[in-house]
Amino acid sequence: MAWDPEKYNQFKNIRYQPFFDLMELISGNDLKNGIDIGCGTGEQTSILSKKFDEAKFSGIDPSPEMLAKSKVFESNNLDFKQYSVEDFLASDDRRNWDLIFSNAALQWSDNHETLFPGLIAHLSEHGQLAVQMPVQKENLLNKILIELAQEKPFTDFLHGWKRESPLLSIDAYAQIMFDNGLHKIQIIQKVYPIIADNTEKLFDFISGSSLIPYLEKMSPHEQELFVAAYKNRIQKAFKKFPAVYAFKRLLLYGCKTK
């Protein structure tokens, strides 16, 4: 999946607030190393490494386009590698991490019932897990997107494919975190409102993330038809502008120490 860092960062301020909220949950005690899964351009990982400056950090991301921007943030205590979360879990690197951090990335990985236990297993005896993900099943633009993808002619363009959100319920994450030895569990669903003056702003927001895998599967002509139909649906869903888009995100935190 090809990411466009410039398009993604059009909404940098909106996308960064949940990162800061998640970072505030982390304790600096016994924090000697950390990994940022889905680090993107590396700017947020750099912020983490400066706040917890006694720790060494690694950022991993599967996107070469995003990682190309990370070179400027490399330092003595921060490095980056092209790697997916699946690569991370399957690797021979068995070091135990004091912090496993992931902001707006794990919603792209499936099978959270096994993914989260796998991540927790890589924590040190005092390790912390801090994860933020958009609640795509409940966010209106995502609902419109998946509904449209299942209608003709778009389902034909996509050969029946659609991207179902892998997110579990809050109860399920709480149980997984508890069963795998985490304490001080915090799970927060929070709305980060996006104020839009027009349909185009809402479209631009989702076009930098959830829309990408759909358009990748279509020809230029099919993309044009799909985008026009999608913007029309957005216009109908938000009956007046300026409009508020109540974008929901899930923040999860837990640590191995009581």
pLDDT tens figures, 34-49? 999 999 999 999 999 9
In the prediction, which pLDDT does 12 show?
56
Q: Which domains does the chain have, with CATH numbers?
A: 1-133+168-189+250-258 (3.40.50.150), 135-164+198-241 (1.10.150)
Write out pLDDT tens, residues 70-113: 999 999 999 999 999 999 998 877 679 999 999 999 999 999 99
Burial 167-188 (b: 16+ CB within 10 A, else e): bbeeeebbebbeebebeeeeee
In the prediction, which pLDDT does 208 show?
84
d(CA 222, CA 165): 23
d(CA 99, CA 74): 19
